[in-house]
Structure 1
Amino acid sequence: MSAIIDDNQVPKIPDLSLAHHRFIISQGPVELKEDAKNQLFVTIKEKNMAPFYKIMVEELQAPFDQGLYDTMVSKNEEELKKFDAKAVDAELNQGETEINEAFLSKADYYAEIGDKENALIAYENLLKRSITLGTRIDIVFTFVRIGFFFGDNSLVRPNIEKLRELIDQGGDWDRRNRLKVYEGVYRMSIRDFKGASALFLDTLSTFTSTEIMSYQDFVKYAVLTSLISMKRVDIKKRVLDAPEILEVISEIPHLEDFMTSLHNCKYAQFFRSLAAIEQAHLRTSRYLLPHMRFYTREMRISAYAQLLESYRSLTVTSMAQAFGMSEEYIDQDLYKFIAAGRLNCVIDKVNGIIETNRPDAKNAQYQSVIKQGDLLLNRVQKLSRVIDV
């Protein structure tokens, strides 16, 4: 792995693997649900996550173990008393730095056990104190992770904006790179694949954000967002030939075939790998599942368009053979995209031929000028009516 390893890695607070298990249980493939449920509750018990246990029991309608819950609550209260005692001792015998450290430890503990409300209150109170810029930035990073953990974009979005402002005031190199990863994950979750891929590719060789995801998952998302949003020539240069990607791509199921088959015009292999990617990676990602149909549709369009660009016309039979699909499937799939204006071609059903009708550059420019002119005339007319009134 080429990514730089940070000796002072950010702790996994909260642990986002639990959010993944929670997603799999509710929306993931059936065959993965039981294992995810077991791992979720094992971790909850190991970390005495009483608040999160209560949330998950209610959400999953699972049996509530009162004895287990009471034990975890007791251990939580015991730990919180230790933090309070540490803060009191710091106030009496030490300085402001030690007091802040005690308050931060307590806030981190709330976040670690899944007590969202108390964690946010504790962090907010700490932000009101006199703390270093670095600590302030790290707290806002934790807000973003809590947002990711609970799927709360209303917490993620404004805090990413706040991080930009704080880091511009004096954030170090590591925090600037970390922000790119966090923002990339957020952009991916809202279907801004182009923005996400740019941020992911910028941090391929400097990735240290293992509190968010593993390096393999990071490479996976960098590849998936790039293939759907970048031009073919840029994909070759920045993805297919990237040494950081080539180091680990073989360890990620189906991704290498998916990455290379479209570029190498192996369309039947590409369609098979797209189906495998859908099952192995899109259905199991809480960031990409909401966009799965969009993603697979856009990648099919890319493959069709790439083949059609090479011909003035070709038979439906030859195109079906190229994609390893039946003629009926290709005919129906192309029809949808042609009708929606996504592919520049027509199907001659009588002769079984697909004819491309790509507009030349001058014609496309002319059409653009006409369209913009119409918009301008409409705005001038609306403005004149307002002035007359």
Structure 2
Amino acid sequence: MENQEGKQQPHLILANKLFLLTHPDVDDIEKVRLRDEVYNAVVSDDMAPLYETLVGNGVLNLNQKVLDSMRAKIDEELKQLDEKIADAEENLGESEVREAHLAKSLFYIRISDKEKALEQLKVTESKTVAVGQKMDLVFHTLQIGFFYMDFDLISKSIDKAKNLFEEGGDWERKNRLKVYEGLFCMSTRNFKKAANLFLDSISTFTTYELFTYDTFIFYTVLTSIISLDRVSLKQKVVDAPEILAVIGKIPFLSEFLNSLYDCQYKSFFSAFAGLTEYIKLDRYLYPHFRYYMREVRSVVYSQFLESYKSVTIDAMAKAFGVTVDFIDLELSRFIAAGKLHCKIDKVAGVLETNRPDAKNALYQATIKQGDFLLNRIQKLSRVIDL
């Protein structure tokens, strides 16, 4: 179960298939194929605990003979692993003892026994001295966390990894951790931090156990578009050679990015519509689908309006290739939510921008803070007088 460079973790491939199997937008015919693939993967790795869970959830049908066979194989292999641990402790050195415990940890991960895997990883850590090897154990824990989408476990493991790096650690593992943390941030809707971590890892990406490089670039572009300003987007994404080398392989992504930067709004909306299907079917992005859709539209509307003091609603609708009613409804929602700084003159059919002045905003903030400070001083003076 040790990671192979360039190859995604089988457990995470399985997790994605399980996600698609319960997705409302996946065709029934596709779900039949996915169900067979999930069943075969579960049986081939003797994942009895996961099989029981999936049967209980109605995802798979119970085959008692298969379940009994898996349990028998698990018992036999555990017996062999325990014998190897006992032999290593009696006859071999500390390194061999650690390897024997690690093998048992990886076995529990393989059969998807979460609690026992985490428990055995702690035992293995107690037998581990080198910081690099301890980090590898944390990466195994993080993979368990992403399989079960256990964000509490992921967060604690990332903090633990950072503490380990204070003791030492090589750059390759530090760069891998950035991708793990970036995926965690993206999965918990912290797109800005995710974009920064992904961009820092573009030239050093080796985290193939999580996802392919193409998928990594997909995530990097999506998070960057709603997180970076126009200048940074040009420098770090649009002109980045690592992104240029891959972006053409991903449907709609190049047009999505470049049409936004080139202000080709009709093309942008067309590409965005194509990309939504890929975002919907991504297990990390799907929970934030509606939020991401709103954020992207907010970015593109803001960019369009920055060029004008006032513009007709009809001109904006033509620029985006949509109806006037659609733009009117869209903008009214974003204005009410404080996402856009403009006013709609419905009678004249005009949009008037009222972008906040930075100096005026600072002045207002200073006044507000000054009033707050004076109130606190007055309250304190009353207490002192008493």
Q: Same fold (TM over 0.5)?
A: yes
Taking only aligned residues, the RMSD between alpha carbons, in angstroms, comes to 2.1
Amino acid at match of 2:370: G
Once the two structures are overlaid, the 10-residue window that deviates more, 112-121 or 79-88, is: 79-88
- Quick one: distance in 1 between partners of 2:271 and 2:7? 35
Q: CA deviation at 1:359?
A: 3.2
Q: Who is 2:306 aligned against?
A: 309
CA drift of 1:321 comes to 0.5
Structure 2 residue aligned with 1:245, among 233, 243, 246? 243
Distance in structure 2 (CA, Å) of the matches to 1:372 and 1:34: 61
The answer to whether structure 1 residue 345 and structure 2 residue 327 are counterparts is: no
SS of 1:168's equivalent in the other structure is helix
CA contact (8 A) 1:14 1:146 kept: no
- The yes-or-no answer on 1:82 pairing with 2:80 is yes
Indicate the larger mover: 338-347 or 307-316. Answer: 338-347
- Find the counterpart in structure 2 of residue 96 from structure 1: 94
Deviation at 1:342, TM superposition (A): 1.8
* CA contact 2:8–2:212 (8 Å) conserved in 1: no
Q: CA deviation at 1:225?
A: 0.8
Work out whether 1:324 is the aligned partner of 2:321: yes
- 2:5 aligns to what? 9
Query: Aligned partners of 1:253, 1:203: CA distance in 2, in Å?
Result: 23
Give the one of 148, 152, 162 matched to 2:150: 152
Deviation of the 1:345 alpha carbon: 1.1
Structure 2 SS opposite 1:314: strand
Whether 1:179 aligns to 2:177 is yes
Match of 1:285 among 279, 282, 289: 282
Match of 1:265 in 2: 263
Aligned-partner Cα distance in 2 for 1:372–1:246: 47
2:197 counterpart of 1:199 = yes
Deviates more, 1:348-357 or 1:32-41: 32-41
Question: Which stretch shifts more, 298-307 or 130-139?
Answer: 130-139
User: Structure 1 288/95 Cα, relative in aligned 2: closer, same or farther at 3 Å?
Assistant: same
Seen in structure 2, the aligned counterparts of structure 1 residues 92 and 14 have a Cα distance that, compared at 3 Å, is: farther
Gapped regions of structure 2 (runs ≥ 5) = none
76-85 vs 254-263, which deviates more? 76-85
| Secondary structure of 1:290 counterpart | helix
Query: How many residues end up aligned between the 2 structures?
Result: 382
Q: Percent identity?
A: 47
- Alpha carbons 2:8, 2:211 under 8 Å: kept: no
Could you say what secondary structure the match of 2:245 adopts? helix
Q: Secondary structure at the match of 1:191?
A: coil
Instruction: Deviation per CA, 1:232-281: give whole Å up to 9, x if none.
Output: 1101110011111111111111111111111110111112222222222x
Assess, with a 3 A threshold, how the Cα gap between structure 1 residues 352 and 125 changes in structure 2: closer, same or farther. same
Q: State the secondary structure of the residue aligned to 1:346.
A: strand
Structure 1 residue 289 displacement after superposition: 1.4
CA contact (8 A) 2:4 2:209 kept: no
The CA deviation at 1:81 is: 2.1
Does the CA-based 8 Å contact 2:42-2:51 persist in structure 1? yes
Q: CA deviation at 1:221?
A: 0.6
Which has the higher mean CA deviation after the structures are superposed, 15-24 or 180-189?
Answer: 15-24
1:47: which partner in 2?
45
Q: Distance in 2 between matches of 1:235 and 1:49?
A: 44
Per-residue Cα deviation, 1:112-141 (whole angstroms, up to 9, x for no partner):
110101111111122223532222111112
2:212 paired residue number: 214
Give SS of 2:5's match. Answer: coil
1:42-93 Cα shifts (integer Å, max 9, x gaps): 2112222111111122123532011111111222222222222222222233
Find the counterpart in structure 1 of residue 253 from structure 2. 255
Shift of 1:13: 5.8
One of 22, 26, 30 as aligned partner of 2:26: 30
Are the structure 2 counterparts of residues 133 and 279 from structure 1 closer, same or farther at C-alpha, using a change threshold of 3 Å? same
Counterpart-to-counterpart distance in 1, 2:81 and 2:317: 67
Instruction: Please tell me whether residue 225 in structure 1 is matched to residue 223 in structure 2.
Output: yes
Amino acid across the alignment from 2:227: S
- Kept after mapping to 1: 8 A contact 2:199/2:220: yes
SS of residue matched to 2:344: strand
TM-score, structure 2 as length reference: 0.93
Q: 1:83 to 1:48 in 2, by over 3 A?
A: same
Please state whether the residue corresponding to 2:300 is helix, strand or coil: helix
**Which whole-Å CA distance do the structure 1 matches of 2:21 and 2:384 have between them?**
60
User: What amino acid is aligned across from residue 79 of structure 1 in structure 2?
Assistant: E
1:168 counterpart residue number: 166
Supply the distance in 1 between the matched residues of 2:88 and 2:224 (Cα, whole angstroms).
Answer: 50
SS of 1:30's partner is coil
SS at match of 1:15: helix
CA contact (8 A) 2:344 2:350 kept: yes
Q: Aligned partners of 2:75, 2:306: CA distance in 1, in Å?
A: 66
Higher relative contact order, chain-length normalized (CA < 8 Å, sep 6+): 1
CA distance in 2, matches of 1:329, 1:150: 40
